A and B are shown apart, each in its own frame.
Chain A
Amino acid sequence: MTQWSGYFGLILQGALVTIELTLMGSVLALIMAFLAGLGRLSRFFAIRALATAYIEFFRGTSIFVQLFWAYFVLPFIGISLTPLQAGVLALGLNVGAYAAEVVRGAIQSIGREQYEACTALNLGRWQAMRHVILPQALLVMLPTFGNNAIELLKATAVVSLISLTDLTFQAQVVRSQTGNTLVPFTTILIIYFALALIISWGVRSLERRMARGLDGVRV
């Protein structure tokens, strides 16, 4: 039974790769979400069109296709990516497109009176966004961002198909070496579920923290 500990180490290594991918993908997704989400609310038609095209393209095609495109097609036009880079790029851009709609929705959900108050206080567009609108909108976005992060975690399983050694890949390795399918797959299912629970717990506590001091503002 000593061999199982070695295989478990392999799975843990995979878990680290999955966590790393999830974190880096989330950071890229967050950046893209704010760029595209604010872009859709821009005054300039060109920026609005660009943001809309990005969002529709990445929401309309499958994450799987985007990943394969990044990994197999980009090299032919001169951009070679490592599996990890391709994974982070595809995951971040894909989930970023979904999250961009969350950013837009949250900003639009802030009441008109807040904008009017900003005008009355003679705040500029950027100042109003930075000091009044975003602090309130962030709280609205947060729960959905948590869901998006879990979607991203689940989507990382796909990168095993471009030979990145994440949890799913390692489970396949263990399967092919031991011939046992039940144990490795059950183990990684439980690990994925635990990671998802950690994300939802983290987002909930972050939400409580950020809601502090906003009691009077939110109805």
Chain B
Amino acid sequence: MSFLKINNLSVDYKMRKETVYAAKNVNIEVNKGEILGLVGESGSGKSTVGNAIINLIDEPGKVSSGSVILGDLNIHENSESIVKYRGNKIGLIFQDPQTSLNPILTVGEQLIETIQTHLKLSKEDAKNKSINLLKEVGIKDAEKRFDDYPHQFSGGMRQRVVISLALCCEPELLIADEPTTALDVSIQSQILDLIKKLTKERNLAVILITHDMGVIAETANRVAVMKNGNLVEIGETKKILTTPQQSYTKSLVSSVPPTNKKISRFVIVEKENKKNNIKILNRWTKKEISNQDLVQVKNLNKSFDDNFFTENSKNSVLAVDNVSFEIKEGESFGLVGESGSGKSTIAKMIVNLFRPSLGDIFFDKTCITKIKHRSELMKFRKQIQMIFQDPYSSLNGRLKVKDIIAEPITLHNPSISNSDLNNYVNDLLDSVEMTQKSADRYPHEFSGGQRQRISIARALATQPRLLVCDEPTSALDVSIQAQILNLLKDLQEQLNLTILFISHDLPVVRQMCDRIGVLKDGKLCEVSNTEDLFLKPSHEYTKELLHLMPKIESIYN
């Protein structure tokens, strides 16, 4: 007899144009003492199931059928019972620790309030209990930190506080909705270890909702795969990840970048898997790869200080601290680091969005950081292009796709004829595997992956030699990520592009890059060939990062 039983759960959203079935006849069981991983891509309904258990579905959605049985009680029977269970028998952990705590109450006040809502305890007892809880989730000096406000905790510590809040009424079921997505790798592994430890010690039933297969492989006992509101497959984690039965699960597993080896291309199960034929090749003035440095970064420094009075003072934060590296023509150079390590700042200095505080950047042996004249700068603008992280903000929503792609073409070649321009735009769309019909649409009609393709087409329009990719796939689902990475590889190979690839995701960097630089707090820790870095890292920090990254292969051991 399992502890939580979800029977035939369906959730509908009645929209103006259609009814969206966010979950369709989902059957899931969770036992005490086990972690059930709920995976799926965005829009698969995994969070909907989590929210439906505690009946927290936003309007206009509603649970249209099915039951949720906790222990031996049907908690959807009436709306009062669910309120009693929420936060009491069922604890919740949300994705973003920044917003799930109330910033104007101290951590202690929030804990005591929650405890006293559900349990009949005096204030003194509640306080003792909360301090014990904070200790249990690994917060040092819990007595002192009890009176701190949420902003005085770091992101990982704040997530620990959120976990202690979820645990404070001795729940038996814990629902964690992407608990580590907003956190860095090193903190992620600590939080996951904590959840694993608590599951064992308290004999909890845990539902871990995530999109990250590595996290699933390392933590979950069983896994349920969802797609478009349907439950595709459910079973032992090892079985599902090693011998998936359904084709969707197969494609999902094959698109996860492996951490232990470099593959030449991702296998995409559902699509025809061939290299695309790049139509813009005949327009491209292909540079032969000389074995020379295309980019040289020398002693780069950047400090941010907006304050008028303290400009250049000692207080200013050094975002980039004396960084030097070279990128050879035709290679992919990776920059990895956690948030705040300065990797995006370096990218923005290379594309000339920021000027460095100190140091120089050379492109093709010319110093590009000291160019004064616009006409001279334009020559380099043409050769260095960038792809951004967020596909939703990188395209102007008020312009049609063809106008977005045409802008760089007409800017650098004002005399181009209209028909030639149209052909060029169509060729570019073709090269990024988009249909020509897309040209007349607006960006909001496309998905994140398609928008990223449009972004790539725009970047290619000026025929750049260097493409700076700033976390190009971290906002995308894993199967879309595989397609975009394949596309970038094809483009690089055929167009002789040099790529600067910036990411926090080590497995992705391993697949994409020839050489890698590791950044920490604005300083470059080490630069070496990809295989050397993964097999015998020399810097302590690199070793730690490699040790902590979630490995999907861990399931085979």
A, B: real partners: no
B-to-A contact residues, CB < 8 Å = none
A-to-B contact residues, CB < 8 Å = none
